[in-house]
């Protein structure tokens, strides 16, 4: 592979990997202020007109769901605020996974396994959302939205994996990696 071609390929992998990292960070960040986010969404979409008192108002299923979710978040914060600690940890998990992908950002060919890991995680989103969403009473259309995150995040990872594998034969070994491997083999 020509150097210019491998540079262009490396640039594409890094750009998509960075996009993936930013997406994970943003997803994680949105898990923290759930109550204010849903409240904002209810206001912006006009779903606020739906209340228990106005059950006769004709509304879309998503509007009813937004209001129901918003009310549940308010009640939960008042009665059991500690439950939101779970969403804080959800955010933390997103941040940690994003940090792991910095290895793929730096050395995509050497860290192609991260793209495999990401693709497996994306695939697991689908049964997870469908099964646990059903158990928790989440509407099917909302579970399909959750499934779409796995599908759409898999697309850049698939390209990154493919391109990183193309780069593998031309990537130069990292001096840090080689030194660590040499020390390990000398110790055994």
Average pLDDT, the chain: 88
Is the pLDDT assigned to residue 179 strictly greater than 80?
no
Tens of pLDDT, residue by residue over 59-81, are 788 888 899 999 999 999 999 99
What is the phi/psi pair of residue 140, to 5°? -55, -45
Residue 128 CA to residue 133 CA, distance in Å, equals 8
For residues 109 and 168, the answer to whether their CB atoms sit within 8 Å is: yes
Tens of pLDDT, residue by residue over 115-169, are 999 999 999 999 999 999 999 999 999 999 999 999 999 999 999 999 999 998 8
| Maximum Cα–Cα distance across the chain | 77
Take residue 177 and report the two structure tokens written for it.
Answer: 């990696």
Q: Is the pTM higher than 0.85?
A: no
């Amino acid at each position: 592979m020509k150097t210019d071609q491998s540079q262009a390929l490396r640039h594409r992998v890094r750009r998509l990997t960075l996009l993936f990292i930013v997406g994970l960070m943003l997803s994680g960040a949105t898990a923290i202020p759930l109550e204010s986010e849903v409240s904002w969404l209810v206001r912006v979409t006009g779903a606020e007109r739906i209340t228990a008192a106005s059950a006769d108002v004709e509304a879309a299923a998503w509007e009813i769901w937004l209001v129901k979710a918003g009310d549940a978040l308010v009640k939960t914060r008042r009665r059991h605020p500690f439950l939101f600690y779970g969403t804080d940890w959800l955010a933390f998990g997103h941040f940690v996974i994003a940090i792991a992908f910095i290895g793929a950002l730096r050395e995509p060919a050497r860290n192609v396994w991260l793209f495999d890991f990401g693709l497996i995680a994306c695939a697991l989103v689908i049964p997870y959302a469908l099964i646990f969403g059903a158990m928790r009473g989440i509407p099917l259309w909302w579970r399909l939205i959750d499934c779409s995150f796995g599908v759409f995040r898999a697309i850049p990872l698939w390209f990154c994996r493919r391109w990183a594998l193309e780069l593998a034969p031309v990537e130069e070994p990292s001096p840090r990696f080689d030194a660590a491997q040499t020390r390990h083999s000398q110790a055994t």
